[in-house]
Structure 1
């Protein structure tokens, strides 16, 4: 029998009383506590806790952070953890995240308070990164386990993990190994202590043995539940991104504010037009502004009907839809130069229903300042008084309206409120144009534009431009001026190598550039061997980060060598290998992405302003939010709102947005999920010593980008 000292027992009794448990004479309904839908995150400043906090923040799940490194932090005691509301005991937090299984000094009353709180209200605890030891339900690694690097390892979700919190995964959890020179992952692999109630959810083979050790598992003891994680990670690493959803699902029981999806949308710019080709001798693009006027001979790249057929076949095979941003003048010019013939446009128009379409302006004109291209780099033209000369409101409006009319005449299924300007022009671009063209907003209003694309690399925050809201897009490092793999590699070498190696020197000037090369790539093999894996990992990282922002490439990348497809296949095939069928890639159009980002911003503002409250009592969840605020919730499948099934099925849960009219929203959980938190358990654990200092390799402290 487990013994508790008299002092500990008295402490337990005092804590249970302080935690607000009702007397045994209370009405039965009063015994069901209220649990607020908020997570307590106790941080030591390490990357693992920071990663979990980032996951909560991105999803829109509220949390309170206690920073153990701050002297002015609140004390974690009974009053901090629980109280009484309207005569009913209230648990202020539905889950607790700790840096390890016990980050407090030996005998800490704060750990005793947390243990008693978790027992009393059946509150789960996540040990973000802890040493494998008996206090966490695992053998010390020296007893047949392992402590060390697991860079490049392939962990597996166990049967219990697949039937439990990690059921959205297909089974394999690969660990990154982006650099042979930098440690990126460190883990303690061990097996459960004999007799411990420990269920491994994610395991990896112990080096040198056939046995497998736990990386993530659930430890039940003394009326408490802990998710024990024995590998270190940061918020960007793929292994964490794969497991983050399950960690949150486990700690919240699948019921929490906020939601998460895996998004991937790809815009193809300049459709119907042609893109100028990179000149491998001049290291610039004749016909474009990076070459001095008159230097070189333009050699345009343009899709063919066969490229359209390939695109439609590819879409069918991948069950994915591309967004084509088109310039109608490209077809008009083609017909004028070829006796009225344009086989590409004919094929695209015939297949128009297979794609989504976005207005990309008629001629792809630059819509910011008037460009002076007599110098490289170009500069804004100025008037006699030195002021910037701007493209006019009329010129901008004509570019938008004429292209819309052309698209309607061709029968393209357009959404008139979406717009991608050529090169995202009209918006600010540094260093030449630090502000938006003042004529842009009025021209957008003239054409009822509500959603305007921006470049995430230079304008990442969603913002208003007149009547429009921006949707920032990720540029993929598949260049607009390359239709062949060798051209792509040559330009990539020039950009990302040193001046001594014949490159641009951008990495010498800006060491923070993440795609720098130690030496030029082989033009025959560099695309497949280096660029494709790097770009795949970067894009897949965005997909796994609950980030809906689209990526963009150009029509040239679907022509000639069709260099975009290996990267797109890498993302989609890689995703399919990782995720179960219940967690498909979400492929939204531009305006839907804009709305998602807009709702998130409003939801975050409401949370940060303290204007949202949510709690659960048994099988009922109540959310209160300001009038006209869209509320986002994740709940078990089968949950109802006002008698109707709520949300959309995703990753084994139901989630979505619902409007608030300023009155309480009441969700009813399915019967199997309706059991409320438990009552008092066996009392608090005796305080245990802190875990040994855990190893954090440099690649976790300072994220190793995929290209290094």
Structure 2
């Protein structure tokens, strides 16, 4: 039967792994093996191997996937795993990921081929989710262990784990429990088998006992090393997101292409301006386009000087800097209404160096098509010939330049090539405006704008607008038109309950993107009990997914009841409780986020085209990439490139970017990064095992955050 291989988009180039050689001898030994920097992922279509593959994808780490469910997959044999290049033995994969400790059919020789390969080249193996049994170095769960749900459990990284691949964690690993009616986590907990060379890295209490059972541990046997994982997970669950880095660092020995960091940046829009307020009787926002003309009385929300004092103190206590996205006309209007006085602007300007500042246009004007707001939802005005009426280039120029001049005249420390337009306007907005305003790109060029924000819920992919590049931002479901908790909950109920329960029915009409609440939230407790935990979990999920895109709220959310802070505190305090000091949050400004996303795109393009080669021989890593392509890698601290330290410290290693000139890049690893010796103790084990009890967690529904206006 003819067999073909399914290779993922990143399965190109090569990546290296641990080899059982003393440091410093490989270069002198012409027979030392070459270990390609690539991971072999053998998948059975289950969530665990898919999750590990997603982690590699996000980091930009090449891998090859073999799908066991496909009849035309390649056979995993000696020729598939290794060969010889220029007279030197080559291991094609630095690590192997299997669905469990032996996923092959009875009588298959593939596990034997893998075992021989791992022994020969000291290549480690990850058992993505396997049954606890002696063949995996563990006692059967029936022997005083446990099998069942771990929903809401608190696992812990062991001393060995903190001193090894999970040293970026403080210790606690909470397991999600999002619904009492849905089983989200299934696990086997047990102790090492008698005589097994097994080191637990992550443990959880065995229910009803004072003992701990292993969830992740290293099993050494027969000259091989296995990372044995005995709980099931998917790529979105917090427990996996916390542990994913350690799984990758263990199997690569901390030496691989690609990198991952935890990012969090928060933009506060409409600073100096005032935001219209939700009307709890009319279920719309007077003064905004969602209310019919003349409905209700506008009652805008605007920060006070006391709110500025609060935010500066909050930043200091959390060691975190916000990006203030400002509209200068808001202060001009306030001074006109108050005999030239604006205490808020005076306080913000006095404290201007405490923040980063971003141009949000002068009046927050809509910069796309000319809007017809006599109907809800609004529509684009058209000319007699049916063509769209667009806001002019001059009008866009004036909005950008006028706000920049106002900011500079007040001493704001601006990055003048960054821009956030009002409501991300000018960019396409479906369904009313499917195309960018054609006048936007030339206006951005006029004003020297290189980076323009887009709404991640509508326009998530980075793209160019003329010479400028978009940076998508995550909207938080902390509404721009809510200054009080009761207003936030009332509007939330309107959006997320059915018509029969008094809501708008939007959730019923769009079930693919929203989920209806089972019942309206209590206006007194719904925010703290439901909205805050949910929004915190969503934002923290982005943080733990190597996602540098910023989040955004509005100045109204820092005023009155200051409703943004519970969510921000949940993310920052939650993060601090989970991660060690060597793994800080990375808080980048817009242009740096845009640059990071651009580099990733260029790197993936080179990988997809098969134009990157990387391998390790002893203590030297060699990478070949096209000229001008940014190269990213994660290496042990103390690694050098051209005699200079490579990257910057993060999570116990060093990672970063370097741009290829087209010539070979040669990284020198420190002598302390010598590959671990092969495992020792021999344990006889059968060729196959019964399939583990796999209880797949319920699929994650990704709700699109609704953010009316910006």
Task: Bin the TM-score by the shorter chain.
Answer: over 0.9
CA shift for structure 1 position 694: 2.2
**In structure 1, distance between residues paired with 2:400 and 2:602:** 29
Aligned residues: 682
Aligned pairs for 1:642-681 within 5 A: 642-675=642-675
CA shift for structure 1 position 707: 11
Secondary structure of 1:51's partner? Answer: helix
**In structure 1, distance between residues paired with 2:396 and 2:329:** 15
> What does residue 369 of structure 1 align with?
369
The 8 Å contact of residues 168 and 579 in structure 2, kept in 1 or not, is answered as: yes
> What does residue 481 of structure 1 align with?
481
Deviations 1:569-598 (A, max 9, x none): 000000000000000110000100000011
> What does residue 345 of structure 1 align with?
345
The 8 Å contact of residues 263 and 587 in structure 1, kept in 2 or not, is answered as: yes
**In structure 2, distance between residues paired with 1:659 and 1:698:** 41
**In structure 2, distance between residues paired with 1:81 and 1:692:** 25
Deviations 1:101-140 (A, max 9, x none): 0000123211111000000000000000001111100111
Deviations 1:399-436 (A, max 9, x none): 00110111110111111110000000011111111111
> What does residue 690 of structure 1 align with?
689
**In structure 2, distance between residues paired with 1:496 and 1:661:** 53
> What does residue 29 of structure 1 align with?
29
Does 379-388 or 94-103 show the bigger shift? 379-388
Whether 1:468 aligns to 2:468 is yes
The 8 Å contact of residues 324 and 356 in structure 1, kept in 2 or not, is answered as: yes
The 8 Å contact of residues 536 and 570 in structure 1, kept in 2 or not, is answered as: yes
Aligned pairs for 1:522-601 within 5 A: 522-601=522-601
Whether 1:61 aligns to 2:58 is no
Instruction: Identify if the C-alpha distance between structure 1 residues 50 and 110 changes in structure 2 by more than 3 Å, giving closer, same or farther.
Output: same
Deviations 1:634-654 (A, max 9, x none): 000011111111111000000
The 8 Å contact of residues 178 and 704 in structure 1, kept in 2 or not, is answered as: no
**In structure 2, distance between residues paired with 1:399 and 1:118:** 63
**In structure 1, distance between residues paired with 2:473 and 2:398:** 24
Aligned pairs for 1:425-504 within 5 A: 425-504=425-504
The 8 Å contact of residues 39 and 94 in structure 1, kept in 2 or not, is answered as: yes
Deviations 1:371-400 (A, max 9, x none): 001111111111112211110111011100
CA shift for structure 1 position 511: 1.5
The 8 Å contact of residues 184 and 704 in structure 1, kept in 2 or not, is answered as: no
Instruction: Identify if the C-alpha distance between structure 1 residues 27 and 370 changes in structure 2 by more than 3 Å, giving closer, same or farther.
Output: closer
The 8 Å contact of residues 152 and 174 in structure 2, kept in 1 or not, is answered as: yes
The 8 Å contact of residues 204 and 212 in structure 2, kept in 1 or not, is answered as: yes
CA shift for structure 1 position 514: 4.4
Aligned pairs for 1:152-551 within 5 A: 152-551=152-551
**In structure 2, distance between residues paired with 1:299 and 1:27:** 73
Aligned pairs for 1:1-20 within 5 A: none
Secondary structure of 1:417's partner? Answer: strand
> What does residue 122 of structure 1 align with?
122
CA shift for structure 1 position 71: 1.3
Q: TM-score, normalising length from structure 2?
A: 0.94
CA shift for structure 1 position 668: 0.6
**In structure 1, distance between residues paired with 2:175 and 2:619:** 38
CA shift for structure 1 position 681: 8.3
The 8 Å contact of residues 418 and 590 in structure 1, kept in 2 or not, is answered as: yes
The 8 Å contact of residues 370 and 390 in structure 2, kept in 1 or not, is answered as: yes
**In structure 1, distance between residues paired with 2:641 and 2:52:** 29
Instruction: Identify if the C-alpha distance between structure 1 residues 675 and 199 changes in structure 2 by more than 3 Å, giving closer, same or farther.
Output: closer
**In structure 1, distance between residues paired with 2:377 and 2:674:** 64
Instruction: Identify if the C-alpha distance between structure 1 residues 265 and 138 changes in structure 2 by more than 3 Å, giving closer, same or farther.
Output: same
**In structure 2, distance between residues paired with 1:681 and 1:134:** 16
Instruction: Identify if the C-alpha distance between structure 1 residues 687 and 612 changes in structure 2 by more than 3 Å, giving closer, same or farther.
Output: farther
**In structure 2, distance between residues paired with 1:515 and 1:559:** 29
CA shift for structure 1 position 93: 0.4
**In structure 2, distance between residues paired with 1:674 and 1:661:** 28
**In structure 1, distance between residues paired with 2:691 and 2:434:** 51
The 8 Å contact of residues 259 and 634 in structure 1, kept in 2 or not, is answered as: yes
**In structure 2, distance between residues paired with 1:243 and 1:379:** 47
**In structure 2, distance between residues paired with 1:675 and 1:231:** 28
Aligned alpha-carbon RMSD (Å) = 1.9
The 8 Å contact of residues 366 and 426 in structure 1, kept in 2 or not, is answered as: yes
The 8 Å contact of residues 457 and 474 in structure 1, kept in 2 or not, is answered as: yes
Q: TM-score, normalising length from structure 1?
A: 0.94
CA shift for structure 1 position 674: 3.2
Deviations 1:294-332 (A, max 9, x none): 111110100011101101000000000000000000011
The 8 Å contact of residues 119 and 684 in structure 1, kept in 2 or not, is answered as: no
Instruction: Identify if the C-alpha distance between structure 1 residues 549 and 213 changes in structure 2 by more than 3 Å, giving closer, same or farther.
Output: same
The 8 Å contact of residues 622 and 666 in structure 1, kept in 2 or not, is answered as: yes
Secondary structure of 2:416's partner? Answer: coil
The 8 Å contact of residues 216 and 229 in structure 1, kept in 2 or not, is answered as: yes
